[in-house]
Amino acid sequence: MTLLTMKTNQTGFTLVEVLIILAMIQVIWFFSLYNYDKQPSQLSFDLWYQQFELDLLYLQKQSMATSNNYVIQFTPEQNKYEIRSSPIVPALKRREIPSDWQLSLPTLGNPISFSHTGQLRRPGTIRIETSNEMYFIYFPFGKGRSYYVQNK
C-alpha cells in the first residue's frame, strides 16, 4: 500500500447514521416537551393548594381561639372562596380560583367550618379539574387537615 492510497480513505459519518441520530434527538425532545407542558399546571395547583392550606390553618386557629364561627364559603360559579367570621359581614379574605378550573363540592359541606376543638364540622371532598389533571382534596373525618390526590 502506498502513502497515496491511505490518504484517499476518508472517515466520517454516513447519511444514514446522521439521520438515525437526528431521529433519536427528536424523540427525546418530543417526550421532554410533553412532560414540560404539564409542569405549569401542576405548579399552579401546588401554589394554590399551599395558600388554601394556610387559609384552612388560619380558619382553624381562629375558630379555636375565639368564640366566632369562622367559615370558608365557596362560590364555584364565580371561581372563588372567602373567609368570613359570619355570613352577614364582609369577607375577611377573598381568594380567586383560576378561571379555567372547574370546582365542585361533591360531598363537602359548604361552608367549611371548624369546632372550638379544631375538628372539621362536616368532612368531605372537593374536586378540581384543571386543563390537564383532576385533583381530589379530602377532608377526613376526625381530622383538622386535608390532603389531595392527583387523578390521572
Give the pLDDT score at 112. Answer: 84
**Is 33's pLDDT higher than 70?**
no
CATH, domain 39-151, list 1.10.10.10, 3.90.1580.10, 3.55.40.10, 3.30.420.40: 3.55.40.10
pLDDT digits (tens, 9 = 90+) for 61-108: 888 888 778 888 888 888 899 988 876 788 888 999 888 899 888 888
Give the pLDDT score at 141. Answer: 78
Closest Cα to residue 99, out of 68, 127, 130? 130
Q: 81: which 3 cell numbers? A: 372562596
* Confidence band for 19, pLDDT divided at 50, 70 and 90: confident
Q: Where are the domains of the chain?
A: 39-151
pLDDT digits (tens, 9 = 90+) for 99-148: 889 988 888 888 888 888 888 888 889 999 988 888 999 988 766 678 88
Residue 71 burial (C-beta neighbours within 10 Å; 0-12, 13-18, 19+) = buried
